[in-house]
Amino acid sequence: MKHTPSSAHDEEEIAALARQLTELRQAVRRNNPLLKTVATSAIYPSLALGLGAILSGLSIYVHFSGNISNFLFALLALFGLSGGIKIALTASIVKKHDARGFSSLVKSIYGGKTGSLILGAGLAIGVCIFFLANAGLPWYIVPAAAVFISFASHALDIVIDLVEYRVLGWASLAAGLAALFFVEQAPWIWVTLSLGLPFMLFGIAGIYRASVARRS
């Protein structure tokens, strides 16, 4: 297919617009030192790597042992503990760099359209999970959760612009969509692939990115 001068010009304009959007995201992060400090920390990838590894280990254990007693309690405790650690560490970083406190960081990340997108996606997935549970299809909650994580991660990447969020977004989306077809055959394996593995990949990508940034 031949490109006319007009189509070539349009492609150049689109490419220029894409570059401008990328530069704009980077400028926003550069001009917000608090957001930059928090986002580029290796703490969050390390937590994600640990969370993904533990979740994967628990799921594989249940798959092979068939022992699901106290699994839900352990899962809730795992997410609660990791969330608490993340909030505490974030608050500590914020306290050192911004007198306005934790709310300033929350507004920087979740304010405006990004927060609206995540809230809308969360509401949709929440209703979907409620429907699946009542319809007797609980295992399909796994791909639903993975798809939500994907969209939330991509939304955060718009603001934060770090490679690990893109890795998490695409890994969660791919695994979540695949799980729609196979989750009932080996549900605990798909818990590992859809939820545990993407967080591990997030952690690995983030730790690598942070190590490269420290060397440069």
Q: Which of the pair, 144 or 93, is modelled with greater confidence?
A: 144
Same domain, 14 and 110: no
9-18, 45-54, 101-110: which has the highest mean pLDDT? 45-54
Reported confidence tier of residue 216, pLDDT bands at 50, 70, 90: low
Which range is least confidently modeled, 33-37, 99-103, 156-160, 197-201? 99-103
Task: Give how many domains the chain has, as a whole number.
Answer: 2
pLDDT in tens, 43-84: 888 889 998 998 999 899 888 888 777 776 777 777 778 777
The contacts found for 178-185 with CB under 8 angstroms, 24 or more apart, are 179/142, 179/143, 179/146, 180/140, 180/143, 183/139, 183/140, 183/142, 183/143, 184/139
Same domain, 24 and 44: no
Reported confidence tier of residue 211, pLDDT bands at 50, 70, 90: confident
Rounded to an integer, what distance in angstroms lies between the CA atom of residue 150 and that of residue 175?
10
Reported confidence tier of residue 168, pLDDT bands at 50, 70, 90: very high
Same domain, 22 and 39: no
Domain that holds residue 73: 34-215
Roughly what angle, to the nearest 10 degrees, separates helices 197-215 and 43-65? 150
- Overall average pLDDT of the 5-23 stretch: 65
Is residue 85's pLDDT more than 70? yes
What's the pLDDT score for residue 32? 55
Query: Which residue, 6, 59, 24, is CA-closest to 195?
Result: 59
Same domain, 25 and 96: no
CB 40 within 8 A of CB 96: no
Same domain, 58 and 10: no
Same domain, 40 and 15: no
pTM attached to this predicted model: 0.73
What's the pLDDT score for residue 167? 96
**Residue 171, exposed/middle/buried by CB under 10 A (0-12, 13-18, 19+)?**
buried
CB 32 within 8 A of CB 108: yes
Same domain, 109 and 201: yes
Reported confidence tier of residue 166, pLDDT bands at 50, 70, 90: very high
Same domain, 91 and 123: yes
Same domain, 2 and 84: no
User: What phi and psi, each to the nearest 5 degrees, are found at residue 75?
Assistant: -65, -45
Would the CA dihedral through 211, 22, 111, 150 be positive or negative? negative
